[in-house]
A and B are shown apart, each in its own frame.
Chain A
Amino acid sequence: MGLAGRGRAQDAAANAVGAERGAAPPFFNLRVYPKELRLSWERRAPGPQAVCRKQGLGIVWSDIGREHCRFPSLSLCHMTNISVFLPNDPGATATWILFPESDPNRPAAATDLHCWLHHVDHVSCRWGRGPGAPSDVQYRMFWRDARQGRDRDRECPRYDVMGMGGARLGCTLDAVLPTLMMVTVTGSSGQGPVSCSDTAVDLQAAEVLTPPTLRAKCNGSDTALVSWVMRSRFHRGFEFQLEIRKGPHSELETEHTSESHFRVRIPGSASFRVRAKPSDIADFSAWSQVAELGVCSHPSQTSRTPWGRKRSPQSCVGGSTARGMRGDASDGGLSCQLPIKAGPAATLPLPPQTRSGAAVTRGPPLSFADRKWGCQSPGASPLSVTHRK
């Protein structure tokens, strides 16, 4: 059994309320066991199954036949009101506790801690310097499976953002990742204590999807077979939106499919791009690179989309571009030219807009028709596809 965390309980107040109403709430002696993510209590008399709520968030059932609730995640840094009550009469039965009980120096703590998953298996986290942080403050970031205690914390292996005074403000890690992750940023200073900040990150919700890898090839003299591969750490089922432009001046056509391929009649040249939406999220990924097909005079003509290449933050990718637009010789001889006219500088994929873990993905700044840069394999024949972004 872990040690019960110190929390400021409402027992006295609860008893006062109970006395006012003529009956004390059924729960008392609330205590939190942080290592087990558990709120426990005692009851004045046996009763129906209770429920618990953390500070206005969702409700969880107590374990059947037990006088405790267990949470999938629990903040150890931010004072949180955790309450237990009977669902059929919350007003009269609610009893709460604050955990942790104290917060030594919140103004100095890291602010706006948020993380997101990108390029399938990279997690980046960012935070800000606390408004009341002393000049010598230094931050350290740790992460663990949210179901585990702080004894399982692992420190960030690579801090990649520094602020004024050398304070670390960001981290990117590449590891075997749990679905629900707890990230903690501790602070230290020679001038006094600094509170920690932590946040639970649902990596499935926080995944910034890597766009599909698209490939098109001729299948007969007037048909193209367009196919793609979608890689995601947490999502399996996708809906795809395929955009087709048959010739440089034709209207855009849009197709929707849950398959990873599409056959389309093309009168001459055509270009394609695709994006993906997981079935449980409302937003699409960024668009894939554009794949172009010339006139299908040869059945084996294919687009020159990089196919099946392992992506890394430094490789040239379409859609959500990464740092480093230029490939190298080890990348199969594929060289990526810098954009002639680009939007915002290509850095890490933008994080989700909401901080609560809902995924929001954003497309590239250029329009489908405004392809100004791309990857071209040297030695490409005139009739093969020139793959441009």
Chain B
Amino acid sequence: MALASSTTSVLSVLLLHLMLFHQGRQSPVMSPVMSSDTSRSTSDEAYSLNCSLMAMEIVKKLPEINFTDLDARAILRAQAITPPAPPSSHLPRAYTEDSLPSQNITLQRVNLCEFLKMRRKLEEEKLEVGDIKSNLEKLADCLPPAVSTSRMTGIYLEKDLEDFQRKLRFYVSQLSNLLPEPRPPHSSSDSVTSRPVAMECENS
């Protein structure tokens, strides 16, 4: 499955928005590029609300199972394990204390890919995963665009329904920032200092 780049995502979202508008529906869906501050703040708020609702909907459909695997919790919280910096490192101490933010974002996306792949496998086994497919796929648009190009290792999921549900519930509950980074209105040809990297979920 291909997670769309931000440009493609913006265009598809705008198209959807136009379709909904012509059908007379007023509730905004996803519209990250706006022409005015007022409408942008309203749209971002609605965007955030929808992402939160999607996450809540997913969580509601998963059973409450206490999740005590500490290593898995750390990986699902997207705390990337970083090797210790050598003593002569010029990096500020903060970067050696915590994972770099870009690594965490990448890890969140990698984890989402793992869940999407396993959901498909479990469905093929006729296991009742719950009606989460649509919201789970849309979660990709709620995550900030990844900027790290390094291939990261995500969560290990067993082909076991309870393992999947337990870890997914925890993962979704940890996605604290579901809003995309605010993007100023600009054309697709504008140069930017860092372009988001397209992330692809590899098919199993």
Known contacts A72-B74, A205-B68; A147/B156 CB under 8 A: no
In the bound complex, do residue A202 and residue B81 qualify as a contact, i.e. CB atoms below 8 Å apart? no
Known contacts A61-B153, A63-B153, A280-B170; A356/B74 CB under 8 A: no
A77 to chain B, nearest CB (A): 16
User: Which stretch from A6-14, A24-32, A52-60, A259-267 is at the chain B interface?
Assistant: A52-60
A233 at the interface (CB under 8 A from B): no
**Cα of A70 to Cα of B103 in the assembled complex, Å:** 15
Closest residue of chain B to A277 (Cβ to Cβ) is: B64
In the bound complex, do residue B68 and residue A357 qualify as a contact, i.e. CB atoms below 8 Å apart? yes
B188 to chain A, nearest CB (A): 31
In the bound complex, do residue A36 and residue B84 qualify as a contact, i.e. CB atoms below 8 Å apart? yes
Complex interface bits, A35-71 against B, C-beta within 8 A gives 1, otherwise 0: 1110000000000000100100111111111000011
In the bound complex, do residue A200 and residue B154 qualify as a contact, i.e. CB atoms below 8 Å apart? no
**Cα of A2 to Cα of B79 in the assembled complex, Å:** 21
Q: Which of A51, A65, A73, A237 contacts B70 (CB 8 A)?
A: A73
A180 at the interface (CB under 8 A from B): yes
A354 at the interface (CB under 8 A from B): yes
B82 at the interface (CB under 8 A from A): yes
Chain A residues near B66: list those with CB within 8 A. 281-282, 354, 358
B146 at the interface (CB under 8 A from A): no
Number of chain A interface residues as a range = 35 or more
How many A-B residue pairs lie within 8 Å, measured between CB atoms?
A: 93
In the bound complex, do residue A202 and residue B74 qualify as a contact, i.e. CB atoms below 8 Å apart? yes
Chain A residues near B125: list those with CB within 8 A. none
In the bound complex, do residue A60 and residue B59 qualify as a contact, i.e. CB atoms below 8 Å apart? no
Chain B residues near A280: list those with CB within 8 A. 67, 169-170, 173-174
Chain A residues near B81: list those with CB within 8 A. 37, 70-72, 147
B107 to chain A, nearest CB (A): 12
- Interface centre among A51, A54, A63, by most chain B C-beta atoms within 10 angstroms, is A63
In the bound complex, do residue B79 and residue A180 qualify as a contact, i.e. CB atoms below 8 Å apart? yes
A236 at the interface (CB under 8 A from B): yes
Known contacts A51-B156, A72-B70, A179-B74; A279/B151 CB under 8 A: no
B124 at the interface (CB under 8 A from A): no
Chain A residues near B152: list those with CB within 8 A. 64
A381 to chain B, nearest CB (A): 41
B13 at the interface (CB under 8 A from A): no
B132 to chain A, nearest CB (A): 15
B69 at the interface (CB under 8 A from A): yes
A18 at the interface (CB under 8 A from B): no
Chain B residues near A71: list those with CB within 8 A. 71, 81
B72 at the interface (CB under 8 A from A): yes
- Interface centre among B68, B75, B155, by most chain A C-beta atoms within 10 angstroms, is B68
Complex interface bits, A202-227 against B, C-beta within 8 A gives 1, otherwise 0: 10110000000000000000000000
In the bound complex, do residue B173 and residue A279 qualify as a contact, i.e. CB atoms below 8 Å apart? yes
B109 at the interface (CB under 8 A from A): no
**Cα of A51 to Cα of B158 in the assembled complex, Å:** 11
Chain A residues near B37: list those with CB within 8 A. none
Known contacts A36-B83, A280-B174; A59/B70 CB under 8 A: no
In the bound complex, do residue A65 and residue B151 qualify as a contact, i.e. CB atoms below 8 Å apart? yes
Closest residue of chain B to A71 (Cβ to Cβ) is: B71
- Residues of A124-181 whose CB lies within 8 A of B: 145-149, 179-180
B40 at the interface (CB under 8 A from A): no
Chain A residues near B151: list those with CB within 8 A. 64-65
Chain B residues near A354: list those with CB within 8 A. 66, 68
Closest residue of chain A to B170 (Cβ to Cβ) is: A280
Chain A residues near B59: list those with CB within 8 A. 279
- Residues of B68-127 whose CB lies within 8 A of A: 68-75, 77, 79, 81-84, 97
In the bound complex, do residue B73 and residue A147 qualify as a contact, i.e. CB atoms below 8 Å apart? no
In the bound complex, do residue A148 and residue B84 qualify as a contact, i.e. CB atoms below 8 Å apart? yes
**Cα of A297 to Cα of B153 in the assembled complex, Å:** 62
A residues bordering B, Cβ < 8 Å?
2, 35-37, 51, 54, 57-65, 70-73, 87, 145-149, 179-180, 200, 202, 204-205, 236-237, 278-282, 354, 356-358
| 5 residue pairs bridging A and B, Cβ less than 8 Å apart | A51-B156, A72-B79, A179-B79, A279-B173, A354-B68
Q: A60-B71, A63-B153, A280-B170 are in contact. List 9 more A-B contacts (CB 8 A).
A: A57-B69, A147-B81, A148-B97, A179-B74, A179-B79, A180-B74, A205-B67, A278-B173, A279-B56
